[in-house]
Amino acid sequence: MTERTLVLVKPDGVRRGLVGEVLSRLERRGFTLAALELRQLDRATLERHYEEHRGKPFFEPLVEFMLSGPVVAMVVEGQRVIETFRAMAGATDPVAAAPGTLRGDLGRDWGLKVQQNLVHGSDSPESAQREIGIFFPAL
Ligand code: DAT
Ligand code: MG
Domain boundaries, the chain: 2-135
Residue 105: which residues within 8 A CB-CB, separation 6 or more? Answer: 99
Q: What is the distance between the alpha carbons of residues 34 and 60, in angstroms, rounded to a whole number?
A: 30
- Ligand 1, residue 91: give the atom nearest the CA: 3
Task: Look up the pTM and report it.
Answer: 0.97
For ligand 1, the distance from its centroid to the CA atom of residue 93, given in whole angstroms, is 8
Residue 73 has pLDDT above 90, yes or no: yes
Smallest CA separation from ligand 1 atom 7, residue: 92
Catalytic residue list: 120
Q: What is the distance between the alpha carbons of residues 30 and 11, in angstroms, rounded to a whole number?
A: 25
92 lines ligand 1 (CB under 6 A): yes
- As a whole number, mean pLDDT of residues 110-128 equals 91
Binding residues: 10, 58, 86, 92, 103, 117
Residue 28: per-residue pLDDT: 98
93 lines ligand 1 (CB under 6 A): no
Q: Which of 50, 58, 120, 122 is the pocket-test mutation for ligand 1 (most atoms within 8 Å of CB)?
A: 58
Q: Which of 10, 92, 101, 127 is the pocket-test mutation for ligand 1 (most atoms within 8 Å of CB)?
A: 92
CATH number for the domain whose boundaries are 2-135 = 3.30.70.141
- As a whole number, mean pLDDT of residues 61-76 equals 97
Name the E strands within the chain. 2-9, 32-39, 71-79, 119-121
Residue 75: per-residue pLDDT: 99
Tell me 98's DSSP state. P
DSSP 44-71: HHHHHHTGGGTTSTTHHHHHHHHTSS-E
Contact, 120 vs 23, CB < 8 A? no
Residue 14: which residues within 8 A CB-CB, separation 6 or more? Answer: 38, 69, 70, 71, 72
Chain segment 76-88, per-residue pLDDT in tens: 999 999 999 999 9
3-state percent helix, strand, coil for the chain, nearest multiple of 5:
40, 20, 35
